[in-house]
Chain A
């Protein structure tokens, strides 16, 4: 445990103090600020219309504003997370500091978990920044907190999956550039899997629907924490961390 935390602490500090993180966090905030503001103002405009006497107020802040915000977070993460995780293992190999890790009294599992936690920590910080927007909205409007937190649990889990995928990509190569490209491709593939689910009710499409990242993520965004979605996302993270562990372990045998 101590080895994992030592490793995670070092890499997290490294990530959070890198210019890369600041550039990413800065650009994300700019985008979020712009689109969140726009969505919120639009919502305010529409709800004024619906507020007229005799109209049903079918409006919901969660669906109208948070859904768009969270989809945007997800879209950004597909591209941004591989950039955050690209150096985790690839750089260690390139700088030969990998030798230090592999000759320290720690197992491949410790390495994979430590690295995952570091990446996940950095993405969590980014996610906290994005949480400022809905929380600030509370200053001007009342809304139930439960669904929002369910949605953010979903964001964290999906981000965790991207981190695990990016970490796996980083374990495959010495080149940081290749690592980020691979991570991106894997992430996009994960989303393509969900595209297959939208076909007609054949067996394959219903299986794909169970495996669809989008479907499970949507459950969370709608404010529902479903056990199968929870299990699916946790397993996705587990599988890629496990694959990373195998790759790290395999370097002993090559």
Chain B
């Protein structure tokens, strides 16, 4: 559905993205993950035909974004970082306007507007001025705007940024419901968002792709089945942290405030050894929590080092 080849974009002489390659198949929900300033929005803007790249090509549904921008734009619904809503318009009028602008056939405008209102649960506020709606509602109007032409592809740029936790949950639920009806690309710097909604994840850092895989595959490959162990002790935390580094099977130890965070090779014996060591040293073990390496750790690992995996 979407093919990106050697995509680069420079702002002046500052490269925003360099040599991106990835593809998205029909019906997939792809999370585009990266820290702020990694080049997520730039990539999205290029895919939607908003701006041209410095080099490389993007094909959407077989159409080149620069040869046939109109055909590409017809197939994409785009929710930019800040929802592109007119504050002095009514929700319904606004969606009508967008539907007409996107060239929806006249006899389908009404039904598509209604279904967009329905999908985003905006039916109750359809007669209100957008400027008077809360941030969460405005975001939903933005999403309804992306949906209103019933596009094959949805490009959502940080759809939950700036929302309160309840609104975030609602927005994620909404995106999950859209799964299967559209091919979705979702950019975010928030990890649980990817875990909540996506099947595939592309991690981007400083303008380059550092990982591209399914969620499970990524977790498996990156952690090597490792565990992350969090330990709290009563005494000698600093000394214990140092000493734990020498234990067999311990990969990394970090002294983080009230806790010691340990990364292990994933063997249960290692955890047993760590616990035994702390008890035998009389450090006063208060708490020991074991988790398999989470996406968050993988993300930090990938974006803080220069390792590139494809």
Query: By the criterion CB–CB under 8 Å, are B101 and A252 in contact?
Result: no
Query: Which residue in chain B gives the minimum CB-CB distance to A17?
Result: B88
Interface residues of B in 76-116 (CB under 8 A from A): 76, 78, 80-82, 84-89, 97-98, 100-103
Rounded to whole angstroms, the CA-CA distance of A125 and B88 in the bound complex is 21
- CB <8 Å contact, B101 and A97: no
Question: Given A3-B103, A6-B101 in contact, is the A103-B86 Cβ separation under 8 Å?
Answer: no
Q: Mark A3-37, 1 if CB is under 8 A from B, else 0.
A: 10011001000100000000000000000000000
User: Within 8 Å CB of A203, what residues of B?
Assistant: none
Kindly identify, within residues 99 to 136 of chain A, every residue whose CB is under 8 Å from any CB belonging to chain B: 99-107
Task: Verify B70–A105 contact, CB threshold 8 A.
Answer: yes
Q: Which residues of the partner chain A approach B102 to less than 8 Å between Cβ atoms?
A: 104-105
**B87 close to A100 (CB less than 8 A):** no
Of the listed residues B73, B85, B86, the one surrounded by the most CB atoms of chain A closer than 10 A to its CB is B86
**Bound form: Cα–Cα A96–B87 in Å:** 12
User: With an 8 A cutoff between CB atoms, is B22 at the interface?
Assistant: no
DSSP class of B's interface residues: helix, strand, loop or mixed? loop
Please, which residue of chain A has its CB at the minimum distance from the CB of B48?
A103
A2 beta carbon closer than 8 Å to chain B: yes
Q: Out of A3, A14, A97, A103, which one reaches B50, CB within 8 Å?
A: A103
- Please give the distance in Å from B234's CB to the nearest CB on chain A: 53
Count A interface residues, CB 8 Å: 23
Encode B34-74 as 1/0 by CB contact (under 8 A) with A.
00000000000000111110000000000000000011011
Best-surrounded residue of B50, B101, B102, B103 (most CB of chain A within 10 A)? B101
Contacting residue for A99 out of B71, B78, B97, CB 8 A: B78
Instruction: Give chain A nearest CB distance to B68 CB in angstroms.
Output: 10
**Complex: A103 Cα to B84 Cα, angstroms:** 11
B93 to chain A, nearest CB (A): 8
Interchain residue pairs A-B with the least CB separation, the first 5:
A100-B84, A6-B100, A105-B73, A105-B74, A97-B84
Q: A95-B87, A106-B101 are in contact. List 4 more A-B contacts (CB 8 A).
A: A14-B86, A99-B50, A106-B103, A254-B51
Task: Give B residues with C-beta under 8 Å from A.
Answer: 48-52, 70-71, 73-74, 76, 78, 80-82, 84-89, 97-98, 100-103, 145
Would you give 14 A-B contacts (Cβ < 8 Å), ordered by A? A2-B103, A3-B103, A6-B97, A99-B50, A99-B80, A99-B84, A100-B98, A100-B101, A102-B49, A105-B103, A106-B70, A106-B103, A252-B51, A254-B51
